[in-house]
Amino acid sequence: MAPKLSAPLWAGRELVDRIARRSPARLALLTFAGVIAVFTALLNLPAATATGVRAPFVDAFFTATSAVCVTGLVTVPTGTYWSGFGQAVILVGIQVGGLGVMTLASILGAAVSRRIGLTQRLLTASETKTTRLGEVGSLIRVVVITSLSLEAFIAALLLPRFMTLHETFREALWHAVFYAVSAFNNAGFVPTAEGLAPHAGDWLLLLPIILGVFIGSLGFPVILNIARVGRRASRWNLHTKLTLTVSGALVVVGGLLFAAFEWRNEETIGPLGWPAKLLSALFAGVMPRSGGFSTVDVSSMKESTWLINDALMFVGGGSASTAGGIKVTTLAVLLLAIVAEARGDRDIEAYGRRIPRDTLRLSIAVAFIGATAVLVSTLVLLEITGWSLDVLLFETISAFATCGLSTGVTHLLPEEGKYVLIVLMFVGRTGTMTLAAALALRDRRRVIRLPEERPIIG
């Protein structure tokens, strides 16, 4: 028999259930904001810093948002500014943000009641983009098992390598676990003071990180689909095929363009041998998709490389993944619509399937809202700082796409500029359409339809 709840608790639960049923997206935003507030409070404790002095609120708030939103942008160096406790808080924040607050809430609810109720299913469906509520339970199991298993596998690969770098077992284990969690969740946080720059040609260290970032960026629906039907591509659903195709293409294109622009740049990969250059190109092809790690000084890259990174960061990874951006399926649908229009086809088709028109409308809305968020934020920062457009555009896209790559100016931003990026990271993690759905009613039923008339386009 379930225990009786007191009147305030019962009223609170009724309110949460009502909000969840009417607008799961709105409750998702509130929950994410609440989690960020908790981690901000923890990082604001004196014990969270290496010096024992309480961190400025804006830095604690920025770091907490960056961790929960799995971004990786920082205003203070993670490896030296924060204590062991502070780094542990950041690590937990990354894990919570990666799994998704809504998914975590469903896990806790299932652990307590041994079942997942309708409210929890609605919340998780909103977070993971699952269309059928019956799939939520299976998706949660895949999320947890895949996340923890892959993170443990990556940590096991990294541990021996860190031990060969003259670290104690405890230090090596901590760095292996931190990098594994940060990589799979596409967070980009580094616990070491020097980062990955000294290891630009280290295949044993960088390949596991590349693997973790790439798989984490695919999205749990893709992992669930492959786990169910196996590795036969003919049995994959359309979402999986589009995600894998576009993701692979972006990695190849990004890596080739990085190599073409930076091959002879003496300030980045120019002095390296060709094996290290190839590894750096592969690394650079994967990381702008939302990984956020870097083996070279981003501020020393050519402006043409910055522009390519801007495009890759804006697209991001797969839907319901730990990556940000407008998502690769959004790009795929827009490109397929252009191809269909150029051919004169009535329908948008791919892999023997027809894509509904409302999916195209949603893709346009996602891309437009994302571009608008970046545009407005860049304009605000231009007025606040007076810095050059290329630098600020790179920072704003990195924040929106929850990528974490930086030209090195984030910590130099004035306080109001840091708050702009905080809002942008929150919008990028919760999703442009989730935010739009939370602020407006999406289901508008009209009895009367107006006469049709075509405006002139182009």
Confidence check: pLDDT of 16 > 70? no
Instruction: Give the span between the Cα atoms of 243 and 222, in whole angstroms.
Output: 8
Mean per-residue pLDDT of the chain: 86
Tell me if residue 355 falls in helix, strand or coil.
Answer: strand
Q: What pLDDT does residue 110 have?
A: 54
- How many Å apart are CA 298 and CA 195, to the nearest integer? 13
Q: Is the pLDDT of residue 4 over 60?
A: no
Is 0.85 surpassed by the pTM of this model?
A: yes
Predicted confidence (pLDDT) at residue 13 exceeds the cutoff of 60:
no
Asked if residue 145 belongs to a domain, the reply is: yes
Question: What per-residue confidence (pLDDT) applies to 1?
Answer: 44
Residue 2: inside a domain: no
Calculate the alpha carbon distances from 342 to 274, 304, 327, 335 in Å: 41, 29, 23, 11
Write phi, then psi, for 399 (nearest 5 degrees): -70, -45
Dihedral of the alpha carbons of 317, 320, 324, 325, in degrees to the nearest 10: 70
Mean pLDDT confidence for 343-359: 92
What is the distance between the alpha carbons of residues 35 and 102, in angstroms, rounded to a whole number? 11
In a domain, 448, yes or no: no
Tally Cβ neighbours within 10 Å of residue 252: 12
Query: Considering the domain boundaries, does residue 12 fall inside one?
Result: no
Residue 440 has pLDDT above 50, yes or no: no
Q: What is the mean pLDDT of residues 211-225?
A: 89
Q: Is residue 453 part of a domain?
A: no
User: Which pLDDT score is estimated for 409?
Assistant: 93
* Highest mean pLDDT pick, 20-24, 36-40, 94-98, 167-171: 36-40
The count of domains in the chain is: 1
Pick the more confident residue, 27 or 415. Answer: 415
Tell me the pLDDT band of 187, cut-offs 50, 70 and 90.
very high
Residue 25 lies in a domain: yes
Asked whether residue 7 is domain-assigned, the answer is no
Q: Is the pLDDT of residue 115 over 70?
A: no
Domain that holds residue 383: 19-128+135-293+300-439
Q: Which of 8-12, 162-166, 180-184 has the lowest mean pLDDT?
A: 8-12
Q: 390 Cβ partners below 8 Å, 6+ apart?
A: 303, 306, 307
- Give the mean model confidence (pLDDT) for residues 224-245: 89
In a domain, 3, yes or no: no
